[in-house]
Amino acid sequence: MFVTTFQGLPISALALAYPALNLPTPLMSAIGQVSIGAFFLLFPSGRLVPRWMAVFLLLLILQTVSSLFPLTSPFNANTWPAWLTGLLDVVSYAAIIFSQVYRYRRVSTPLQRQQTKWVVFGIITVAAGFIVFGLLFAVFFPEVNQPDSPYSLLQNVYPLLTLLLPLSIGIAVLRYRLYDIDILINRTLVYGTLTASLALVYFGLVIGLESLVRLFTGQVSQTPVVIVASTLAIAALFQPLRRSIQIIIDRRFYRRKYDAARTLAAFSATLRNEVDLHQLCEHLVAVVQETMQPAHVSLWLCSPQKRQVQEEEPPLSRGGGDFHG
């Protein structure tokens, strides 16, 4: 129902061409709006969490159904004061966000949390893509927004971005390789921040070097030396900046995994130097408890004498019946 709800031009054009569809098309749009709101209140378990979210779902349904009344009816939401409709929208969105945050932190299983991450990642990617491409087309490539421009086809990037929403939901529902989402989010944060930082540094270097060249030579035009120097500086900064951003993001968003990696690295160094078996066992138990945080940790070692006796015993001497190893 998403396309019929938020891509209103084709559905409205259909209603204009066929007057008999004047009622079914708004009804379909209303069902789509209710479906989207209900989806975010019910995903991923199919239950309302907490249960009193049913009040907000009912409010969403009533607000959407009110748009089906004639414009002359006092029950039509378009005739209500603007502050009232705005307040209802804010309350509905706030309830959806609260429900998902509460569900994620208090109720969701690890699998459901991965499903939620996929959908949230899709939404954030679509929103960020619309903002980035909107700024690019408005500031740097304004000819894209011209209807007769040969570059107007680039606006097809918007429906392509929108496809990420059903794709992310489909991946979450099908539960295929859900745990890769953590790696994907990590790489997106790292390389997204890296790209933005390098772009800012590049434009800053170009503007700064051009100012210096104009100051010393009096030339206003852009010189190839400036472009080459800026490109070389970006190439030199790429790896150090990427490593720094990776460390910052790991510390900020993946603190447990970051600490676990550091603990394992320290244990590897200890393992090469430790010769006391008792001390090594204590280190191993401590590392497992710190990195995996299980409810209980125990370590059992088979003594060499017992192992030798077990190896020397014939298989059928360990009790009657077949021996399964």
pLDDT tens, residue by residue, 39-82: 989 988 888 988 899 999 998 888 888 877 777 777 777 777 88
Confidence of residue 101 (pLDDT cuts 50, 70, 90): very high
Q: Do 85 and 48 belong together in one domain?
A: yes
Q: How far is CA 130 from CA 4, 133, 174, 185, 270, in A?
A: 19, 5, 27, 18, 50
40 within a domain of the structure (yes/no): yes
Q: Do 83 and 11 belong together in one domain?
A: yes
Q: Do 173 and 208 belong together in one domain?
A: no
| Per-residue confidence (pLDDT) for residue 291, from 0 to 100 | 64
Confidence of residue 102 (pLDDT cuts 50, 70, 90): very high
316 within a domain of the structure (yes/no): no
Asked if residue 176 lies in contact with residue 168, where contact means CB atoms within 8 angstroms, the answer is no
318 within a domain of the structure (yes/no): no
pLDDT tens-digit series, residues 69-79: 777 777 777 77
Q: Do 130 and 212 belong together in one domain?
A: no
Q: Do 85 and 130 belong together in one domain?
A: no
Chain-wide mean pLDDT for the chain? 76
Confidence of residue 320 (pLDDT cuts 50, 70, 90): very low
State how many domains the chain has: 3
Give 48's DSSP letter: -
Tokens of 294: 């299980």
* Residue (of 124, 111, 210, 203) closest to 164 by Cα position: 124
222 within a domain of the structure (yes/no): yes
88 within a domain of the structure (yes/no): yes
| Per-residue confidence (pLDDT) for residue 99, from 0 to 100 | 92
**Phi, psi for 7 (deg, rounded to 5):** -105, 75
End residue of a domain, out of 178, 198, 223: 178
Quick one: average pLDDT of 131-137?
Answer: 83
265 within a domain of the structure (yes/no): no
Whether the per-residue pLDDT at 98 is higher than 90: the answer is: yes
Q: Do 119 and 63 belong together in one domain?
A: no
pLDDT tens-digit series, residues 276-294: 777 777 777 777 776 666 7
Q: Residue 111 contacts by C-beta under 8 Å, 6 or more apart in sequence?
A: 175, 178
Domain hosting residue 119, numbered range: 114-178
**Which pTM was predicted?**
0.59
Q: What percent of the chain has pLDDT over 70?
A: 76
247 within a domain of the structure (yes/no): yes
| Interatomic CA distance for residues 76 and 69, integer angstroms | 5
Which of 258 and 143 is assigned the larger pLDDT? 143
Quick one: average pLDDT of 26-31?
Answer: 81
294 within a domain of the structure (yes/no): no
Q: Do 6 and 46 belong together in one domain?
A: yes
Q: Do 173 and 185 belong together in one domain?
A: no
End residue of a domain, out of 253, 278, 296: 253
Q: Do 14 and 91 belong together in one domain?
A: yes
Q: Residue 48 contacts by C-beta under 8 Å, 6 or more apart in sequence?
A: 41, 42, 54, 57, 99
Other beta carbons within 10 angstroms of residue 60's beta carbon come to 22
Whether the per-residue pLDDT at 302 is higher than 60: the answer is: yes
- DSSP-assigned states of every residue in 96-115: HHHHHHHIIIII--HHHHHH
| Per-residue confidence (pLDDT) for residue 254, from 0 to 100 | 63
Beta strands in the chain (DSSP E): none
